[in-house]
Amino acid sequence: MYLPAFSAKITEIDGAWDADAGAAVSIDAYLVSGPETDVQDGSYIQVLAVVTPQAYFSTEPISGLWLKQPAETAPFSVTRLQHIVADLVGAVQNPVLAGEETVDEVSTYRISGVAPASSMDWLPISASEGQSLQIDVWTDTEQKLPRMISVVGAVGEFDSPDTHRAIRLAGIGERADISPPEQFIDLSGG
């Protein structure tokens, strides 16, 4: 995913979320000269972020120092996260049962369908009008909870038609440890 404001391509995001405490993510990205530049030609950076209902903490990519900013400046809202999977699954049109598979040692049903690119409106990019995505959802066979989601297709203007995004859900029902950093530079104005 290319972010024009930062001239960066995000290649992976890993994180944890708790409905009360917030979210903690690790973002792997490459600074590139433009959307056509391969990530191998860019400079690798990692950004860590913690979003709580009260504040947004992120590391500055070069120094690694933590910065504190108002929660509303975060690239995603904590309350929005609890709806992402439900909204994405709910946007799937013409779903079909594509089979049974094992995901992370759990028996799952794979459901396939299409959804509009606008169903990914939680990403920090603008969805292109009229684009469709191929979506596969794996739900466990017992509780029917989503375990993994695969999204293939262009969402933003800089995505290629074969862009693949995967969301893996683990530790469902377990408490996530979301802790803001102890030391940070306060840019929140409060």
Decide: helix, strand or coil at residue 147.
strand
Task: Choose among 131, 136, 160, 141: nearest CA to 102.
Answer: 141
Decide: helix, strand or coil at residue 7.
coil
- Domain count for the chain, please give it: 1
What tokens appear for 59 in the block? Answer: 């590391």
At which residue do the structure tokens 């690119």 appear?
117
Residue 82 structural domain: 2-186
pTM: 0.76
CATH of the domain at 146: 2.50.20.20
**Would you write out the chain's pLDDT as a tens digit for each of its 190 residues?**
556 556 778 888 888 888 788 889 898 888 888 888 888 888 898 999 999 988 999 999 888 899 999 988 888 777 777 778 888 888 899 999 999 999 989 999 999 999 998 888 777 677 767 788 999 999 999 988 888 999 998 887 777 888 888 888 887 778 888 899 999 999 987 6
